[in-house]
Amino acid sequence: MGSLSDLVLYRNGKDSLSQVGISRMKNSTKSFINLVYLCCAIGLAVFILTLLGRLVGAGLAWNMMEDFPFSFKDVLICLELTWLGLPAGLIIWFFYHR
C-alpha cells in the first residue's frame, strides 16, 4: 500500500509512478534500520536463551561436592550462537517485514 502522500499525488493527477519510486528510496533507510534492529534483537534473544539454557543444564548436572560446571567457555559458546540472529533477522525481514 502506498503512503498518504502517494494517494494525494495520485488524486491530484500528477505523475504518481515517479513519486512512488522517490518515496520508496526515502523509506529505504528506515527499512535498513528495521533490518539492523531485527537482527540485533534476535541475536540478543538467542544469547539470553542459550545462556539461560546452559546455566540450567549446568545447575542440573552440578555435583555439590565439586565446583559449579559453568565456565567462560560456555559464555563463548553463547556468544558464537548469537550470530544466528543475522540470518534469522534477514529471513524475517525479507519474507514478513518487506
Residue 50 has pLDDT above 80, yes or no: yes
Amino acid letter, residue 91: I
Does 91 have pLDDT greater than 60?
Answer: yes
Residue 48 has pLDDT above 90, yes or no: yes
C-alpha cell at 81: 550462537
Q: Alpha-carbon Rg of the chain, whole angstroms? A: 23
Cell triple for residue 35? Answer: 533490518
Average pLDDT over residues 62-83: 88
- Tell me the pLDDT band of 68, cut-offs 50, 70 and 90: confident
Is 52's pLDDT higher than 90?
A: yes
Residue whose C-alpha is closest to residue 16's, from 27, 28, 6, 26: 6
Domain ranges of the chain: 28-97
pLDDT value of position 29: 62
Cα 87 to Cα 6, 9, 35, 36, 81, distances in angstroms: 33, 38, 11, 11, 12
